Amino acid sequence: MSLTAHVYQIYIAATPEQVWAAITEFEWTRRYFHTTSFVEPPQQGKPYLTVGVDGRPAIDGIIEEMQRPAAGRPGRFVQTWHTRYDPELEGEPPSRVEWTIESAGEGLTRVRLVHRNLEQSPLTWQNVKDGWVWILNSMKTLLETGHPLPRVRDDESVAEAVSS
């Protein structure tokens, strides 16, 4: 594996505050993030767990940085990422996801997501490379239209949904 990080950038017709809420609040993530949500509100320096609607663990880790966007300052949300929804992926070491949220003009926000530290996690690397594209596009669609991308079939697990 030659790449050890994935980098994504997307522009969303929403305010940085709206995008921040979509990333950090379970009411939003459940709608676009493969029906997963934080068990507890994320807090800097604290462990977190996300679960699917069935209560099964999806992702866990530590919230390393949590800085809301403010006038003239981008927001940052940094978390370690340890997959729990698939036994093979669960055996790999944690990686790191960095979100940067910044105003790109009136009612427009640039979101940059970097998923790094994947050197020892080839299965996670493979799994998230297209999964993040779907998640970011679904978040964008939800914020711009009020509706996320159509959900995957009900009989698919989170692991199948994320890898699609």
- pLDDT tens digit sequence for 109-143: 999 999 999 998 999 988 888 899 999 999 999 99
The whole-angstrom separation of Cα 52 and Cα 21 is 19
Alpha carbons 111 and 92: distance in angstroms, whole number: 27
Report the SS3 class of residue 94: coil
**CA-to-CA distance for 158 and 26, rounded, in angstroms?**
16
Tokens at 97, concatenated: 């996801």
CA contacts within 13 A on the Cβ side of 74: 16
**Which pLDDT does position 163 carry in this prediction?**
43
Q: Which residue has the tokens 């919230």?
A: 63
Tell me, what DSSP letter sits at residue 112? E
Q: What is the pLDDT of residue 72?
A: 87
Q: What are phi and psi of 150, to 5 degrees?
A: -55, 140
- All domains in the chain, ordered by first residue: 6-163 (3.30.530.20)
pTM, entire model: 0.88
Task: Report the Cα–Cα distance between both ends of the chain, in Å, rounded.
Answer: 20
For the chain, which residues score pLDDT lower than 50?
A: 1, 155-159, 162-164
Which of these, 92, 62, 90, 75, lies nearest to 14 by C-alpha position?
75
* pLDDT computed for residue 155 by the predictor: 47
